[in-house]
Homo-oligomer: A and B are copies of this chain.
Amino acid sequence: MAFDLARSTDVLRRTPPTLQSLLGGLAEPLVRGNEGPETFSPFDVVGHLIDGEETDWMTRARIILARDKEPKFEPYDRFRHKARNKGRSLTSLLDEFSRLRASNLDQLQAWKLTPAQLDLTGIHPKFGRVTLRQLLAAWVVHDLGHVAQVARVMAKQMKDDVGPWVPFLPVLTDHEMPRS
C-alpha cells in the first residue's frame, strides 16, 4: 500500500477516540496492569503517546522541513512520561492526548505537504537518513502498535480466569519477552 497522507492523517485522528472507548473510566487494575518489569500499562501507553506528541513526531518533521545542513533528530526518551505523569489521572491524560493530537494534525494539514517535501530527509540517531514520508508512516504504525499493546495488556490481566482456553487465545501468550 503506497503512502497516502490523507489516509495516514485519518488513522492518526482515530487513536484518541479509540483509546477513550477502550480505557475511559476503566477499572484501575486494568488501567495499571502491565506485562512485567519495564513494560507499559495502558496508563503508561497514553503517557508515552503524549510524549510522542510533545517531543517526537512533529518536532522531527519540523527539523526535516527546516532544511538545515545537519537535520539531526534528538534521541527520544521512552520513559519521560514516568516522572511527568505521577499523580495524574487517566482521564486527564486521555483528554490531554486528544488535545495535543488534534492540534498536531491541524498543524500537519496546514503545511499542505507536497510530494517533494515528503522526500526531504532528517538524520535519525539510530539509523541515519529517513524521509519525512517514512517518519509520518512510522507515526501511524507506532500508534497502531500501541493500540494493539493496550488490548493485549488488558487481556493478560485476565489470563488466570480463562482456564483451559489459554492456548486458544494467542493474545495471552504474545510478547512473553517484551518487545514494545
Contacts and interface: CB of A to CB of B under 8 A. Distances in A.
Q: Is the interface of A mostly helix, strand, loop or mixed?
A: helix
A158 interface: yes
A89 to B, nearest CB: 18
A151 interface: yes
A169 B142 contact: yes
Contact of A126 (B14, B26, B29, B168): B168
Contacts of A128: 164
Interface of A: 1-4, 7-8, 10-11, 14, 17-18, 20-22, 26-27, 29-30, 33, 124, 126-128, 130-131, 133-134, 137-138, 140-142, 144-145, 147-149, 151-152, 154-155, 157-165, 168-172, 174-175, 179-180
